Amino acid sequence: MADSPTWPEGYRCAVVLTVDYNDIHGILTQAPEVAGRDKTLSVWRYGTQRGVARLLGLFKELGVCSSWFVPGIVAEENPALIQAIQDDGHEIACAGYRHQDYDALDLVAQIDDVAKGCETLGRLTGKRPVGFRIPAGNGAPGFIGALKDQGIRWSSSWRGDDLPFAHPTAPAVIEVPQHYELEDEPYFAFNLSPAVPPAQSRIASYSHTLGNLQMDFAGFHRFGLCYVLRLHPEIIATPGRIGVLRELIEGIQQHDDVWIATGAEVAQWWADSAAPAAEDHPASVYERHYRDYVS
C-alpha cells in the first residue's frame, strides 16, 4: 500500500486516458512501402472514418476527460474532428508534425518537427499544446530541454516508472510514463499485408485483454500509482472493442478515490507537489550516462 496520498483531494491513484490519433501516417512511418496501397491504408483510416467519433461518444457518455496526441499534418487534414475533440473538452497534445521516426532525425530536425507540429495545432485550435508524445524512435541528447523551449510542460514518451517524474536536465518537463501492457496496439493491431505485427499472430481475446487491463488497474490502484492508458481510434474503437473500453472505464469509475484527469492536469499537480527525481531514478541515471557519452 502507498504510505501516504500522492494525489489531490484524497484520491488514491490517477488515471490518464490518452489517444494517439495518427490516421494513415502511423503506418506510413512503420511501413513506408504501403504508400498508395489504398486497401492497406484503409485499415488505418478507420480511426478517422469511425473511430474518433465512437471514442468521443463513449467519453461523453461516461463523462471522462482524455488527452489526444495528434501530428500537425493529421490536424490539417481533419480539422472538423480536431474541433470536435476540442469542443468536447479534451486536451489536444502534440506528436510532431509528420509522424516521423525520430531515430532517423538529428536534434535540429527533431526540434523543427516539434515546433511545426505545435505551431500547426496552435493555429487550428487557438491554443498551443503543452503535452507531447514522441511518434516513433527516441529523442537525441538535448531533446527534453528543447521540448521545454517549445513550451512543452509534460511528455508521455518514456517508460521505466509507475509515477510521473521531472526530467533531471529539464525539471519543468514532467514525464507521465507509459507501459506496453496498458496499450491497445500490442493486443489488437493486425494487418495481413504488410504483416503487422511482423511475426503475425495476434488478435487477442477480448475477455482476456479486459482481464489484463483490469488486473493492472487493480495493482495501480492498490499502490497509489498513475495508470496511463494508450489508445488508437482505429484499434480500440471498432464495434466490439469499444465495449472492452467501456467495461474497463465503468469499472474504474466504481472507485470514488480515483482521479481521472488529463495529462496536463496530472503533470501540473506533480510539478507543484512532488520532489525532483532521485539520483538513482532511471531518468537520472540515463541523463548522466548521456552527458558522459556526448561530452
Q: Per-residue pLDDT tens for 66-84? A: 999 999 999 999 999 999 9
pLDDT band at residue 197, thresholds of 50, 70 and 90? low
Mean pLDDT of 244-251: 98
Residue 137 has pLDDT above 80, yes or no: yes
pLDDT in the model for residue 3:
45
Tell me which of 234 and 294 has the higher pLDDT. Answer: 234
Mean pLDDT of 158-169: 90
pLDDT in the model for residue 32:
72
Residue 38 has pLDDT above 80, yes or no: no
pLDDT band at residue 4, thresholds of 50, 70 and 90? very low
pLDDT in the model for residue 54:
97
239 by Cβ neighbours in 10 Å (0-12 / 13-18 / 19+) ranks as exposed
Residue 199 has pLDDT above 90, yes or no: no
Superfamily (CATH H level) for 14-294: Glycoside hydrolase/deacetylase (3.20.20.370)
Residue 36 has pLDDT above 90, yes or no: no
Mean pLDDT of 191-206: 70
Q: CB neighbours of 66 closer than 8 A, spacing ≥ 6?
A: 16, 17, 18, 19, 59, 90, 91, 262
Distances (CA, A) of 74 to 81, 217, 275: 10, 31, 37
